[in-house]
Amino acid sequence: MSAALAPAPGHDGGRAHLLSVADLGREGIEEVLQLTDSFSEVSDRAIPKVPALRGKTVASLFFEDSTRTRLSFEAAAKRLSADTMTFAASSSSLNKGESLRDTVQTIDAMGVDAMVVRHRSSGVPWQVARWTRASVINAGDGWHEHPTQALLDCYTLRQAARDGRPGWAGRVGETGLEGLRIAIVGDIEHSRVARSDVAAFSMLGAEVTLVGPPTLLPSSLSGWPVSVSHDLDDVLPKVDVVYLLRLQAERIHESLLPSLREYTARYGLTRSRAARLSEGSLVMHPGPMNRGVEIAAEVADLPCSVVTRQVRNGVAVRMAVLFLLLGSGQ
Amino acid sequence: MTRVQLVVRGGTVVDATGTRRADVAVGEGVVLGVDPGIDVPRGATVLDAGGCFVAPGLVDLHAHLREPGAEEAERVETGARAAALGGYTALVAMPNTDPPMDCAAVVRQVRELAVGAAAEVLVAGAITVGRRGEQLAPLAEMAELGVRLFTDDGAGVQDARLMRRALEYASALGVTLAQHCEDACLSADGHMHEGEWSSRLGVPGVPAAAEEVMLARDLGLARQTGGRLHFLHLSTAGSVDLVRSAKAHGLPVTAEVTPHHLTLTDAAVGTWDPVFKVNPPLRSDEDLEAVRAGLADGTIDAIATDHAPHPQEAKEAPFDQAPPGMVGLETALAVALTCLTEGEELEVAGGRPHRPEGRQGGGGAALPFERLLGLLSWKPAAIAGVSNRHGGPVAPGAKANLCVIDPTAEWVVDPARLASRSANTPFAGCRLKGRVRHTVLGGEAVVVDAEAQR
């Protein structure tokens, strides 16, 4: 077990979980990134599989639809030779009125080593951790946290820094994020990716600016290590990374925005805005993208966009997390 | 001459008239004598009050007894027992039952359920039919049965015009309307206080303005109509300011605050335990300080529990799906004594206790014991319209509704040992100072040595 992955407070047995990126701390994040390097190499092999978690069982509990995160965790578990089980809410007995706790304890009784939990309600992975003996990995809870997304984002940025970007050399420090200027743009309030990314990026020394209309920012940013802007055009030339968040059409119905058109006009990474990015800038997006809303179709396919790299790194990062929680010869 | 049946011996009597060392003799439901040395006649019961305060029974303006409709959470009988153990001799049962208490038939039903209970159950009637906020409930019909408080609690009356008419109509009946101030448009989909913690935790928030907007509206309506208004469970600094200013202008309004809003903040939601979910939500440190200041300066008239039992399984749902509410009848007095009189801060199980920076030793100015009792007994008794039998001075001729409080007894809250049918207390594991030793209802000991007798 990794020293950096701390057991959840109050949980018996001292089993390690990954619930929040903040629990990892800088040291823990760096440990995951370092291990990701070696698992990244595994994924490049002809037979991308190692026996590291043979005999371990990883259950995916996805109470909310997800394609990439669920597949990414399953691929990670399989490449480590773990057995996998998948629980999807639509096919479950939740429809028959079974409570969350009963569902968790039923799966616990089958004997699993890790539960990968995705839920539309913030906080559920913490509740699950109180009801199971397994290690719990938060695969996204409500608007709250998505720690493995933050880890893969950090890994992607570190990779870019090591590959060398124009203008980054000499300014960006050893973590690959030290001194990096990152703008996170769009619907911060409803984004678990934003909350985890802000914590992880700033722990690794990046300067984070949140950009969006006030209606899409959290009502209080007290204690957040960020600066805030409502003017993307002002921010764009001053940053190394533009991290775009998905904008959901339902925000219009909630009167948070007048129209998607107006959003795109002010906060979308259009072709003309992309042209004003400084040399060496990167464009990121957690997916799935709304091409034509927060990002123009052509921009998503530019060389400065690392969206597919993020997805690719996701598997290796999740292998590292699973190995740190379940491996090491336990 | 009436026979003395019970003597409360060795205590210090505290009521609105002051404090004095005295025994209390009781017979046929009334106080017969209050004197430092009362001889105990043969056959009379003696309740030992050594080291204790003997006070008028407490009166809770706000309890959800869940019957009829949700008997798995609470029943009138169990709620009244919990109340008696908490020192209450009377409590107001809120009308959000199923069916709701919006007509004489349901009021009568609940009263029948309360016959022989360990505390007097006062029924609050609904303001609108079905608590739907569309049409006035038969207020006069219920008032004729003695109902003195009307509320749609659980929701506020959203329609300003309907609320205006309700106040006008009620003014002819001499009854009080109690508002749950919450603008449903502003609070929609919220599950905790909107602020630093909701932003951090990614939980949809309920802004303070949801409460203040309706409160401000109703103050305007009270001024317009002359109707009597009581504000339930105020929770924000802005609300305290509004009521303070309204009272300064002579408006006849009253307000209550809960023990949990006086002691816990939204930081507790960081535990992700839905036991900390309540409506109105636990607020910020600043709000907590403001409601305490409101108690201290008399802006707030009463501490009321908003006892809201829920079965365990309901509270084991995801935070945003769990029902709001906390039980409180058995802990209210001890929590208030510990935090407001002793000035201590609670260590909430697994949580981050309220601990404002820069405060020395916690508590600010301690509330004198006598004033605290007023907030729990005689002031709410007046609001509920039962001063003739609850909360009055302990004097010959008064109804023998008393509680005996040991101010030094320390105990730890164990949810499994609560008399309520539900265990959703936010104070689980907290060490509290002050405990009810005996409760006397209508001359009979319903709690003896912290054990319920009915």
**CB spacing of B313 vs A220 below 8 angstroms:** no
- Comparing A5 with B158, the larger pLDDT belongs to B158
**CB spacing of B317 vs A124 below 8 angstroms:** no
pLDDT at site A1? 35
Nearest Cβ partner of A122 from B273, B313, B320?
A: B320
Nearest Cβ partner of A126 from B272, B317, B320?
A: B272
**Surface of B (26-85) touching A: CB under 8 A:** none
Q: How far apart are CA A218 and CA B231, in angstroms?
A: 30
Q: How far apart are CA A33 and CA A39, in angstroms?
A: 10
- Residue of B185, B272, B275 for testing the chain A interface, max A β-carbons within 10 Å: B272
Residue partners of B199: CB distance under 8 A and separation at least 6: A189, A218, A219, A220, A221, A222, A224, B205
Cβ-contact A61, A235 below 8 angstroms: no
pLDDT at site A253? 84
Is the CB of residue A124 less than 8 Å away from at least one CB of chain B? Answer: yes
pLDDT of A48 over the 80 cut: yes
Q: Which amino acid is at A20?
A: S
Task: Write out the two tokens for B249.
Answer: 């202008």
Residue of A nearest to B313 (CA): A99
Q: Which amino acid is at A36?
A: T
For residue B195, give how far its alpha carbon lies from the nearest alpha carbon of chain A (Å): 5
**CB spacing of B195 vs A9 below 8 angstroms:** no
**CB spacing of B272 vs A195 below 8 angstroms:** no
This prediction's pTM: 0.94
For residue B448, give how far its alpha carbon lies from the nearest alpha carbon of chain A (Å): 37
Strands B6-9 and B23-27: antiparallel
Q: What's the CATH code, domain A12-145+312-326?
A: 3.40.50.1370
**Surface of A (14-73) touching B: CB under 8 A:** none
Task: Write out the two tokens for A308.
Answer: 């597919």
Is the CB of residue A100 less than 8 Å away from at least one CB of chain B? Answer: yes
**CB spacing of B205 vs A219 below 8 angstroms:** yes
**CB spacing of A119 vs B318 below 8 angstroms:** yes
Beta-carbon contacts below 8 Å between A and B:
70
Q: How far apart are CA B347 and CA B354, in angstroms?
A: 8
For residue B350, give how far its alpha carbon lies from the nearest alpha carbon of chain A (Å): 7
Is the CB of residue A221 less than 8 Å away from at least one CB of chain B? Answer: yes
pLDDT of A5 over the 80 cut: no
One digit per residue, the tens of pLDDT, for chain B of length 454 reads 689 999 999 999 999 999 999 999 999 999 999 999 999 999 999 999 999 999 999 999 999 999 999 999 999 999 999 999 999 999 999 999 999 999 999 999 999 999 999 999 999 999 999 999 999 999 999 999 999 999 999 999 999 999 999 999 999 999 999 999 999 999 999 999 999 999 999 999 999 999 999 999 999 999 999 999 999 999 999 999 999 999 999 999 999 999 999 999 999 999 999 999 999 999 999 999 999 999 999 999 999 999 999 999 999 999 999 999 999 999 999 999 999 988 887 776 544 444 444 333 344 568 999 999 999 999 999 999 999 999 999 999 999 999 999 999 999 999 999 999 999 999 999 999 999 999 999 999 999 999 999 9
Residue of A nearest to B188 (CA): A254
pLDDT at site A77? 97
Q: How far apart are CA B94 and CA B152, in angstroms?
A: 8
Q: Which of A195-199, A316-320, B114-118, B344-348 has the lowest mean pLDDT?
A: B344-348
The residue assigned the tokens 């072709």 is A271
Four-way CATH pick for A147-310: 3.40.630.30, 3.30.360.10, 3.40.50.1370, 3.30.499.10:
3.40.50.1370
Residue of B nearest to A129 (CA): B272
For residue B345, give how far its alpha carbon lies from the nearest alpha carbon of chain A (Å): 21
Between vectors from CA B164 to CA B158 and to CA B168, what angle results, nearest 5°? 145
**CB spacing of A220 vs B196 below 8 angstroms:** yes
pLDDT at site A14? 60
Q: Report chain B's C-alpha Rg in angstroms.
A: 21
**CB spacing of A144 vs B319 below 8 angstroms:** no
Is the CB of residue B320 less than 8 Å away from at least one CB of chain A? Answer: yes
- Residue of B187, B319, B347, B357 for testing the chain A interface, max A β-carbons within 10 Å: B319
Four-way CATH pick for B56-391: 3.50.50.60, 3.20.20.140, 1.10.150.120, 3.60.20.40:
3.20.20.140
pLDDT at site A248? 86
Query: For residue A288, what are the CA distances in angstroms to A245, A291, B132?
Result: 9, 9, 42
Is the CB of residue B348 less than 8 Å away from at least one CB of chain A? Answer: no
For residue A156, give how far its alpha carbon lies from the nearest alpha carbon of chain B (Å): 25
Average pLDDT (A291-298) is 95
Residue of B nearest to A196 (CA): B200
pLDDT at site A21? 96
pLDDT at site A7? 42
Q: How far apart are CA B44 and CA B382, in angstroms?
A: 32
Please state the domain extents for chain B.
Answer: 56-391
Residues of B recognised as catalytic: 306
With contacts defined as CB-CB under 8 Å, which chain A residues touch B194?
Answer: 219-220
For residue A145, give how far its alpha carbon lies from the nearest alpha carbon of chain B (Å): 8
pLDDT at site A11? 40
The residue assigned the tokens 């210090």 is B12
pLDDT at site A284? 98
Cβ-contact B36, B57 below 8 angstroms: no
Q: How far apart are CA B150 and CA B169, in angstroms?
A: 12
String of DSSP letters for B120-163? EEEEPBPSBGGG-SSSB--HHHHHHTT--EE--TTS----HHHH
For residue B50, give how far its alpha carbon lies from the nearest alpha carbon of chain A (Å): 41
Cβ-contact A185, A267 below 8 angstroms: yes
Nearest Cβ partner of A144 from B201, B271, B350?
A: B201
- pLDDT bin (cut points 50, 70, 90) of residue A92 is low
- Residue of B185, B187, B197, B201 for testing the chain A interface, max A β-carbons within 10 Å: B201
Between vectors from CA A320 to CA A319 and to CA A325, what angle results, nearest 5°? 100
Q: Whole-angstrom distance between the N-terminal and C-terminal Cα of chain B?
A: 29
- pLDDT bin (cut points 50, 70, 90) of residue A91 is low
With contacts defined as CB-CB under 8 Å, which chain A residues touch B320?
Answer: 121-122, 142
Cβ-contact B436, B336 below 8 angstroms: no
pLDDT of A30 over the 90 cut: yes
Task: Write out the two tokens for B218.
Answer: 């109703």
- Residue of A122, A124, A191 for testing the chain B interface, max B β-carbons within 10 Å: A122
Q: How far apart are CA A307 and CA A323, in angstroms?
A: 25
Between vectors from CA B105 to CA B103 and to CA B108, what angle results, nearest 5°? 110
For residue A254, give how far its alpha carbon lies from the nearest alpha carbon of chain B (Å): 11
Q: Start-end ranges of CATH 3.40.50.1370 in chain A? A: 12-145+312-326, 147-310
pLDDT of A230 over the 70 cut: yes
**CB spacing of A142 vs B202 below 8 angstroms:** yes
**Mean of pLDDT over chain A:** 91
Q: How far apart are CA B91 and CA B124, in angstroms?
A: 10
Residue of A nearest to B274 (CA): A127
Tell me which residue of A329, A330, A324 sits closest to A151, measured CA to CA. A324
**CB spacing of B318 vs A223 below 8 angstroms:** no
With contacts defined as CB-CB under 8 Å, which chain A residues touch B208?
Answer: none
Cβ-contact B192, B165 below 8 angstroms: no
Q: Which amino acid is at A72?
A: S
With contacts defined as CB-CB under 8 Å, which chain B residues touch A222?
Answer: 196, 199
